[in-house]
Structures are given as C-alpha cells and as structure tokens.
Structure 1
Amino acid sequence: MLSQVRNETYYLAIKELHDIQLYPIFTLCEIAGVQRSSYYKWLNRKESKNENFNKKLIPLIQEAYEERDGILGYRQMTIKLNRENNFRVNHKRIYRLMTIFRPKSRYVEKKKKKIY
C-alpha cells in the first residue's frame, strides 16, 4: 500500500463490508477495534502530495525494471530515475516502493578465472 495510514486495511474492509453486505458501520468499527470517527476521517481524506508522487513513480520503476531485465537494484534504480527524469528522489523511497511490489534484482555472478 502506498499510503501510510495505520489502519487502512481495516478501513478498506469496513468500507467493502458496508457497501456490499450493508452491515452497520458502528458494528464493523467495534469489531475491528477502530474509532468510528477515525474511519470517517479516513473516508473523507485527500491524498497527500507524496502519495500522488509515489503513484507516478511506481510505473516508472516497473518500466525501468523490465527494460533492464531485472538487473537494477534500488541504488542503480535511483540513479537511473534521477538522471532520466530530473528527479531528486532518495534511495530509501525507491527501496520502500520496490519492496511494495517486490521485484527482485538478479545477481549476475562474474566468471571466475581458472588458474592452472
């Protein structure tokens, strides 16, 4: 998940159960152990600039990952994105976003020289 809301999975479940099964929100919030006011605050919130930027950044990461056949790790990915798109993105953000959709960089082993 891109947002950093603490109980977002609970809120999403409450919203889905209320919309589909028509369960009362009061009961669902009580079962989930969250305040009803917190649910409504989450429901009416606006996405932050960071969340919007992360949503734009993830397709670029996936595209660069596929372009280089999965070789790039988070450090090289940061360098590539910063150079090509004139970003100033920290490597920690790239690392966090890459762990969300879990691409694994391939480890290319160097050939060892045989000494006879």
Structure 2
Amino acid sequence: PIIDCFDGMPVSWVIGTSPDADMVNSMLDSAVLSLKEDEHPIVHSDRGSHYRWPGWIERMEKYHLTRSMSKKGCSPDNSACEGFFGVIKNAIYYGRDWKDVSIDEFICFLNDYLYWFREKRIKQKLGYKSPIEYRASIGIPFLSNRALNS
C-alpha cells in the first residue's frame, strides 16, 4: 500500500500473492490519480527490487516524485507502512482460522477491510473521524473511488 504520513490513510494498494513490478507500478499509478498537479510527495519504500528497477524509477521521475529509502537493515523511511501492516495483522489476521479460506476470498476480505479502514475506521488523533472524513472536514478532498484500487 501507499500510506499518507499526513493522516495514515491508505491512498492506494494492490493485493497479490507476490510483489512484482506490475503490482507496484499499478499501485503508484492509482496513487498519483489522487494528487493535484502541483503535488509531488516523497515516496518512502523498503529496498525491494521492484522499487529499484528502472521502470519504477522512470515512473517516479515522470510523476516528479522523490524516492526515499533507508540504508539496508534500517527501516525508518518505511515505518508508516510497516506500522500499517501491524494494525492490519492485529485487526483481521491473528486469532482467526483461515485454513478454509481461499486466496481469492482472503484477497476480497482484505480489500474490503482496506476500504473500511480508509472510509469508516475512526482514529482518535483525527478527532474521531476516518481519514476520508477528516480530510473533508479540513477541506482536503480525496477521490474515493473503488475502481482505483480494485
């Protein structure tokens, strides 16, 4: 996922069984659709090969985004995303029996949860609003379109 450090909102995500260039490219392309023309944020990532290959770098340059990676074995730049994974695991994964759930069913369940997280899950530090509600309350619109992330 791409997590906005402003409010912890998952801006874009793609779910698959293994990370690859097509997956991260489509995730980035979806995230860019939510930016205004003059917005060029920093994109923090881990050191995965799909974030270092020429196609990713070309996309980042095309969109005028800044790449940010920490040195090997040091993950502060990607901490927002790692923390987000921890929240997801505690909320929906741990403590459940997934043995009779197919990969496709799990992907649908996770996708629905991510939309709920972005649009309905309230956060104390956002004034007990969801990220979408919080942004609307301070005049920052967000194109919440399920087609972007499906």
TM-based fold match above 0.5: no
* Higher strand residue share: 2
| Higher helix proportion (structure 1 or 2) | 1
Structure with greater Cα Rg: 1
TM-score (ref. length: structure 2): 0.25
- What TM-score do you get using the length of structure 1 for normalisation? 0.31
